[in-house]
Amino acid sequence: MNKNILFLFFLICSVYSLGQNSAYITFDSLTINYGKILQGDNGTVDFKFTNTGDRDLKINKVRSSCGCTIPKKPDSLIAPGVSDLIKVNYDTERIGIINKTIIVNSNAANETVILKITGEVLDSESIKEIKEDI
């Protein structure tokens, strides 16, 4: 019985220590909504994040759900307490609803984070119709 209690104690301590001394990525927002934008408008948005852990954070890979969305990650390590940006550029030449996913992989305790961009790209005729309705 004492061996089982001792083993359980060491197991709990081991699991607890795994959560310590690691990077942790915290985003200001997991979704950015473009709203209604005009075809050809600037499609770049920034997802701001902070390393809220106590080890350096390394963004290993950032990928998007389609080729119309190009994410760019920081190349350098992010120290604890430091903020940085993941830049995302959406191709606003594509008319229609925006509903895309960006997957961020890092060395953080929360190693995979899913970001989203939403909105709608309208052509100039659609914008005229909206203005006429107002």
List of domains in the chain? 2-133 (2.60.40.10)
The first and second tokens of residue 88, run together, are 């995302």
**101 with 65: CB under 8 angstroms?**
yes
Predicted local distance difference test score (pLDDT) of residue 127: 66
Long-range CB pairs of 4-10, under 8 A, 24+ apart, other chains included: none
Q: Which residues pair with 134 in a beta bridge?
A: none
- Of residues 17 and 122, the one with the higher pLDDT is 122
pTM for the model stands at 0.79
**22 with 109: CB under 8 angstroms?**
yes
Mean pLDDT of the chain: 88
According to DSSP, residue 57 is labeled B
Predicted local distance difference test score (pLDDT) of residue 17: 47
- As a whole number of angstroms, the distance between CA 113 and CA 103 comes to 6
Mean pLDDT, rounded, for 49-72: 96
